[in-house]
C-alpha cells in the first residue's frame, strides 16, 4: 500500500470510531439529564454493547499494525504523526484488556451512576459502597493488564494528566499547603465579611431569566451550544459545533448556578474553538484534564469572581431580585462571593480553601489504591479528613462523600487536576493581562475578545501539544505554582485587609 492508501484506510477508521463515540456521548448526556430512570437496565446493557463495538474497532489488530506502520512512515505530516502516536498509545493501553471485562466495566459504570444518584438522594453511603468497591476492584484489574512499572494509581494520574504521578502531586500539594494553610488561618482570625444575603430564597424561575442574559454575555450561542440541568453539572460534546453543558439551580443560593455555568462554558469553549482541521480526530480533544480544568476554572474564578465581571452583571442581578439584593452594594456582593471559609461542598468552595477539598480526595484515592484505606466506613474517613483539614463537621453523606459524581463513573485520579488546572490558569491569566485590559473588557461586555485570546493562544491547538509544551508556548515559562499562590495571597490580603 502507498502512504496515501494507508492514510485513507486510517481516516476511514477515524470516521467510524468518531461515529460510535458521538452516539455514546449522546447516550450519556441523555442518561444524565432527561432519560427516565425505569429504562436504565435496558439502556445500560445496550450502551455497554456499543462501547464494546468501539473497543473492538479501536483495538483491531489490523489497525494497530497500520498505526505502527504509519508512525514510522516519513511521508506522514506532523499533525497526523502526532495523532497516530496518540491513537497507537491508546490502543496499546486497551488492547491488553479482555473485551468482555471492558464491556462489563462499562455496564457497571452505568449501574454505579444510578446507585450514586439514589444513595445521594437518601444521604446514605451504604447504598453506594458496594458499587464503589466493585469500581475500584474493576479498575485495579483493568489497569493491571497494562505492561507498566508504575503503580496503578500513578497510571491513572498519568491518564488524566500525562507526565504526572504521586511524587509530583505530593510536591505540588505540599507547595500549596505551605502558603495556603497560614493564609487560611489569618483569614479565619480577620474581621469576617457579610454573606448572609446570598443564601436567601431566590426563586429558580427568576434565576433562569438572569441566566439567559449571562449566556448571551458569554456568547454561548444556541447555534452551537445548549444548556440543560443535571444533578452534577458537566459538559460534553457530540461534534465540533454541538456542545452540551448543564448547570444546577439551588433555590437558597444565588451564586451556585452562575459560577457552575461559567465553569462549564469554559470547558465548552475549549473544544468548540479547536482548529476544525482536527475535527473527528483525537487532536480535537483538550490536552489533558488539567488543561481542561484550567480553562473552566479560569472563567469561573479569575473572571467570574472578579469585580469587573460583576460591575457589569450585578445591576442586572439586582433587577431580578430587588427584594433580596436591593440594599446590598456591589462592593458587599463582591466580597460575599469571595468569602473564604471552611465549607462542605467542593464545587461551591471559595478559591482559597478549594485546594484543600481536592487534597482530601487525592489522599483518599491514594489510600484506596495502595490498600491503606478501605471502602468500608469510607464516609467516616471522609468526615474525619474534613474535620482535620477544614475544621468542619459533615452532617450527612449527601453533603459529604456522596457530593461528587466522579467515583461512580470510575474516575479515580481526576480530582487532582482541578487544583493543578486552577494553578495553570493563574499563569495563563498573567500572560493574558500583558496583552489585554481584561477588567475593562469584562466590565464593558466584550467577553468575546477574551475568548478570542484564549482561542488563539490555547484552544485552537487541541491535543496537538503536551501540557508542558503548551504552557511554554503560551507563557514563555515552565509551569510554576507560585503564580497561583501570589494571586491568592494578593486577593485575600486585600479582601480581608490582612
Ligand atoms: Zn470542570
Q: Are 365 and 382 in contact (CB under 8 A)?
A: no
The Å distance, Cα 263 to ligand 1 centre, comes to: 6
How far is residue 299's CA from residue 403's CA, in Å, rounded to a whole number?
23
Ordered per-residue pLDDT tens for the chain, 498 residues: 999 999 999 999 999 999 999 999 999 999 889 999 899 999 999 999 999 999 999 999 999 999 999 999 999 999 999 999 999 999 999 999 999 999 999 999 999 999 999 999 999 999 999 999 999 999 999 999 998 999 999 999 999 999 999 999 999 999 999 999 999 999 999 999 999 999 999 999 999 999 999 999 999 999 999 999 988 899 998 877 899 999 999 999 999 999 999 999 999 999 999 999 999 899 999 999 999 999 999 999 999 999 999 999 999 999 999 999 999 999 999 999 999 999 999 988 999 999 999 999 999 999 999 999 999 999 999 999 999 999 999 999 999 999 999 999 999 999 999 999 999 999 999 999 999 999 999 999 999 999 999 999 999 999 999 999 999 999 999 999 999 999 999 999 999 999
Report residue 425 as a C-alpha cell: 490558569
Q: Which of 51, 58, 161, 264 is catalytic?
A: 264
The torsion angles phi and psi of 246, rounded to 5 degrees, stand at -130, 165
How far is residue 262's CA from residue 42's CA, in Å, rounded to a whole number?
35
The Å distance, Cα 237 to ligand 1 centre, comes to: 14
The Å distance, Cα 124 to ligand 1 centre, comes to: 26
In this structure, the chain runs to a length of 498
| End-to-end Cα distance, the chain | 70
The Å distance, Cα 61 to ligand 1 centre, comes to: 35
How far is residue 488's CA from residue 244's CA, in Å, rounded to a whole number?
31
Strands 242-247 and 235-239: antiparallel
Query: Which segments within 241-344 are labelled E, that is strand?
Result: 242-247
Give CA 255 to chain center in angstroms.
19
Q: Are 250 and 201 in contact (CB under 8 A)?
A: no
- Which letter, b or e, does each residue of 363-390 get, where b requires 16 or more Cβ atoms within 10 Å of its Cβ? bbbbebbeeebebeebbebbbebbeebb
How far is residue 213's CA from residue 205's CA, in Å, rounded to a whole number?
14
The torsion angles phi and psi of 232, rounded to 5 degrees, stand at -125, 115
Report residue 351 as a C-alpha cell: 478559591
How far is residue 107's CA from residue 333's CA, in Å, rounded to a whole number?
46
Listed residue (462, 159, 25, 461) closest to 284, CA to CA:
462
The Å distance, Cα 262 to ligand 1 centre, comes to: 10
Q: How many CB atoms lie within 10 A of CB 432?
A: 20
How far is residue 230's CA from residue 119's CA, in Å, rounded to a whole number?
16
How far is residue 134's CA from residue 374's CA, in Å, rounded to a whole number?
12
The Å distance, Cα 264 to ligand 1 centre, comes to: 6
The Å distance, Cα 403 to ligand 1 centre, comes to: 15
The Å distance, Cα 161 to ligand 1 centre, comes to: 14
Report residue 128 as a C-alpha cell: 453506594
How far is residue 343's CA from residue 358's CA, in Å, rounded to a whole number?
13
pLDDT at 110: 92
Q: Are 428 and 475 in contact (CB under 8 A)?
A: yes
Q: In the annotation, is 240 catalytic?
A: no
Listed residue (82, 83, 88, 81) closest to 66, CA to CA:
88
Amino acid at each position: 500500500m502507498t502512504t496515501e492508501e494507508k492514510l485513507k484506510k486510517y481516516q476511514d477508521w477515524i470516521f467510524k470510531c468518531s461515529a460510535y463515540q458521538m452516539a455514546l456521548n449522546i447516550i450519556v448526556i441523555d442518561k444524565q439529564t432527561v432519560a427516565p430512570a425505569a429504562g436504565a437496565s435496558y439502556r445500560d446493557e445496550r450502551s455497554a454493547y456499543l462501547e464494546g463495538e468501539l473497543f473492538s474497532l479501536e483495538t483491531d489488530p489490523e489497525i494497530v499494525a497500520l498505526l505502527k506502520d504509519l508512525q514510522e512512515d516519513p511521508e506522514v505530516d506532523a499533525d497526523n504523526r502526532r495523532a497516530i502516536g496518540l491513537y497507537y498509545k491508546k490502543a496499546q493501553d486497551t488492547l491488553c484488556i479482555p473485551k468482555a471485562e471492558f464491556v462489563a466495566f462499562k455496564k457497571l459504570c452505568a449501574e454505579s451512576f444510578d446507585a450514586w444518584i439514589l444513595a445521594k438522594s437518601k444521604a446514605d453511603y451504604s447504598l453506594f459502597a458496594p458499587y464503589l468497591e466493585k469500581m475500584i476492584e474493576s479498575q485495579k484489574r483493568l489497569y493491571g493488564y497494562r505492561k507498566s512499572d508504575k503503580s496503578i494509581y500513578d497510571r491513572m494520574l498519568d491518564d488524566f494528566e500525562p507526565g504526572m504521578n504521586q511524587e509530583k502531586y505530593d510536591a505540588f500539594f505540599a507547595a500549596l499547603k505551605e502558603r495556603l494553610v497560614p493564609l487560611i488561618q489569618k483569614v479565619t482570625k480577620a474581621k469576617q465579611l457579610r454573606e448572609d444575603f446570598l443564601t436567601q430564597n431566590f426563586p429558580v424561575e427568576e434565576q433562569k431569566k438572569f441566566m439567559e442574559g449571562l449566556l448571551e454575555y458569554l456568547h454561548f450561542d444556541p447555534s452551537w451550544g445548549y444548556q440543560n440541568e443535571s444533578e452534577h453539572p458537566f459538559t460534553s460534546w457530540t461534534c465540533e459545533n454541538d456542545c452540551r453543558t448543564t448547570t444546577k439551580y439551588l433555590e437558597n443560593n444565588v451564586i451556585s448556578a452562575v459560577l457552575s455555568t461559567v465553569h462549564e462554558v469554559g470547558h465548552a469553549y475549549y473544544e468548540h474553538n479547536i482548529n476544525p482541521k482536527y475535527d473527528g480526530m483525537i487532536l480535537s480533544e483538550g490536552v489533558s484534564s488539567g488543561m481542561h480544568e484550567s480553562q473552566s476554572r479560569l472563567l469561573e474564578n479569575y473572571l467570574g469572581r472578579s469585580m469587573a465581571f460583576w460591575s457589569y452583571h450585578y445591576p442586572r442581578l439586582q433587577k431580578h431580585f430587588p427584594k433580596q439584593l436591593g440594599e446590598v452594594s456591589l462592593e458587599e456582593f463582591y466580597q460575599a462571593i469571595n468569602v473564604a471559609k471552611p465549607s462542605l461542598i467542593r464545587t461551591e468552595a471559595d478559591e482559597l480553601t478549594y485546594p484543600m477539598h481536592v487534597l482530601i480526595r487525592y489522599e483518599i484515592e491514594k489510600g484506596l489504591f495502595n490498600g491503606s484505606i478501605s471502602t468500608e466506613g469510607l464516609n467516616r474517613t471522609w468526615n474525619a479528613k474534613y474535620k482535620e483539614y477544614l475544621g468542619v463537621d459533615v452532617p450527612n453523606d449527601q453533603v459529604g462523600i456522596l457530593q461528587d459524581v466522579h467515583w461512580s463513573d470510575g474516575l479515580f485520579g481526576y480530582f487532582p487536576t482541578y487544583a493543578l488546572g486552577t494553578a495553570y490558569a493563574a499563569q495563563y491569566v498573567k500572560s493574558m493581562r500583558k496583552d489585554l485590559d481584561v477588567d475593562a473588557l469584562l466590565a464593558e461586555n466584550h467577553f468575546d475578545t477574551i475568548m478570542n485570546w484564549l482561542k488563539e493562544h490555547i484552544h485552537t491547538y487541541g491535543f496537538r501539544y503536551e501540557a508542558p509544551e503548551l504552557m511554554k508556548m503560551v507563557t514563555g515559562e515552565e509551569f510554576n505554582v507560585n503564580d497561583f499562590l501570589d494571586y491568592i495571597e494578593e486577593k485575600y490580603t486585600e479582601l480581608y485587609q490582612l
